[in-house]
Amino acid sequence: MVKKSIANLKPYIPEETMADIKKEQGLTHLVRLSANENEWGTSPKVTQAILNWGVKDANRYPDSEVTGLRQAIATGLKVAPNKLVFGGGLDEIIQLLSRTLISTGDEVVLTQPTFSEYALHAKIEGAKLVNVPVDSSGVTDLAGMLGSITPATTMIWLCNPNNPTGTYVTHQAIADFMTKVPRSVTVVVDEAYIDFVTSEKPASVVDLLSEFDNLVVLRTFSKAYGLANFRVGYAVVAPQLAKILQTVRLPYNLSTFAEIAASAAYSDQEFVQGVVTAVAKERQKWQTFLTGLKLVSYPSQANFVFFKVKRAAELSTELLRHGYLVRTGLGPDWLRVTIGKPEDNQRVQNLIQQFVQK
Ligand SMILES: *Cc1c(COP(=O)(O)O)cnc(C)c1O
């Protein structure tokens, strides 16, 4: 018998391969702006590190502790190495946290809309979802989330910047929030897009971990570091919780291949900074464009924009016909578009303009 909590679940729909889409659509050129991947690619240091490694010890299990990468990140974030828990992408960490911390009947508080995997895993664990809508500017409603905490609440998900709205809540706001959340409630701040924040530096709340041991901060190599294919993400947590998560996680969840790639990517902060600067510049142009067309959009601090447009599904079909895949289905008449290279953004904007003014 399939577990009751799972029987009626809708699956997360992963991206179709680019080769398949090209074939279906008869396209020679396709730019995928639907998954918030890094349009600037990957640091050349990653290629070099992989080539230097040359697939040694393929017959051996990888290092379960991910020692090299752990040390590098601990140094970079100025946290103790035993506060880090690695996963095959944040996907796995989201599953691991849910599996470890949520029991049947618990309440889990979420922003609406936000990344769908939090709800998926909460449901699998039999939790009751409490959705708190974003405010009229698309910003996570921290006061509303506080107000929805009950004795049954065990977990709160904060995606910052939030996917899909792109909006950012400040370090100060989260610090205040943490002082008001009961210590029995775990607050998970998913910082998948934190590198792209330019409105505040430093933007991360990793430093708050020393004050609040019910805080969990998530990071990934899939976005600014351009390593989505390698599946590397991690949680920064209190050492007590890290120990428990280490017990629940699969022992060899990161391949040496992934560790080597992530270590090389982490060592090339110049590449990351170049991407962040280029994205911020293009983001500004997008924002000016959307305002100019009088389309409703939210102020983004991430590597994507989210906007409302009539006949959004039709527009997405039109964009795909021209070789641009964007994300639909996140809200009626809303589209999410990953910020791409300048020439692609210009092309997409021209197509949107023609569509809207038709
Ligand atoms: C992309 C994304 C992730 C998943 O990242 P992986 O590390 O590739 O699994 C996690 N959280 C949010 C909000 C994302 O947008």
Same domain membership, residue 202 and residue 127: yes
Residue-wise DSSP of 256-271: HHHHHHHHHHHH-HHH
Average pLDDT rounded to a whole number, residues 77-96: 98
Based on the number of CB atoms within 10 Å of its own CB, is 178 exposed (0-12), middle (13-18) or buried (19 or more)?
Answer: middle
Span from the CA of 90 to the centroid of ligand 1 (angstroms)? 5
CATH of the domain at 292: 3.90.1150.10
Average pLDDT rounded to a whole number, residues 299-306: 98
> What mean pLDDT value characterizes the chain?
97
What is the model's pLDDT at position 10?
A: 85
Determine whether the shortest distance from the Cβ of 190 to ligand 1 is under 6 A. yes
Same domain membership, residue 350 and residue 321: yes
Same domain membership, residue 29 and residue 122: no
Determine whether the shortest distance from the Cβ of 162 to ligand 1 is under 6 A. no
Determine whether the shortest distance from the Cβ of 220 to ligand 1 is under 6 A. yes
Extract the tokens encoding 289: 């464009």
Tell me what percent of the residues of the chain surpass a pLDDT of 70: 100
Q: Point out the domain boundary residue: 222, 245, 268.
A: 268
Q: Point out the domain boundary residue: 268, 302, 317.
A: 268
| Structural domain boundaries enclosing 220 | 44-268
CATH of the domain at 251: 3.40.640.10
What is the model's pLDDT at position 331?
A: 87
Same domain membership, residue 169 and residue 86: yes
Question: What digits encode the pLDDT tens for the residues 159-199?
Answer: 999 999 999 999 999 999 999 999 999 999 999 999 999 99
| Number of separate domains in the chain | 2
Q: Report which DSSP code applies to 34.
A: S
C-alpha 311/C-alpha 236 separation (Å) is 42
C-alpha 234/C-alpha 219 separation (Å) is 5
- Give the residue, by CA position, lying nearest to ligand 1 atom 5: 90
Same domain membership, residue 50 and residue 29: no
Whether the predicted pLDDT of 82 surpasses 90: yes
Who contacts 155 (Cβ-Cβ below 8 Å, separation ≥6)? 97, 98, 101, 102, 106, 108, 109, 122, 127, 185, 186, 187, 188
Taking residue 352's Cβ as centre, other Cβ atoms within 10 Å add up to 23
pLDDT-derived band at 4, boundaries 50, 70, 90 = confident
Determine whether the shortest distance from the Cβ of 212 to ligand 1 is under 6 A. no
Question: What digits encode the pLDDT tens for the residues 195-232?
Answer: 999 999 999 999 999 999 999 999 999 999 999 999 99
pLDDT-derived band at 358, boundaries 50, 70, 90 = confident
Q: Report which DSSP code applies to 346.
A: H
Average pLDDT rounded to a whole number, residues 46-50: 97
What is the model's pLDDT at position 288?
A: 98
Same domain membership, residue 166 and residue 56: yes
Average pLDDT rounded to a whole number, residues 241-251: 96
pLDDT-derived band at 13, boundaries 50, 70, 90 = confident
Same domain membership, residue 94 and residue 198: yes
Same domain membership, residue 63 and residue 28: no
What is the model's pLDDT at position 23?
A: 94
Q: Point out the domain boundary residue: 240, 268, 296.
A: 268
What is the model's pLDDT at position 336?
A: 98
Span from the CA of 91 to the centroid of ligand 1 (angstroms)? 6
Whether the predicted pLDDT of 1 surpasses 90: no
Question: What digits encode the pLDDT tens for the residues 259-299?
Answer: 999 999 999 999 999 999 999 999 999 999 999 999 999 99
Taking residue 138's Cβ as centre, other Cβ atoms within 10 Å add up to 19
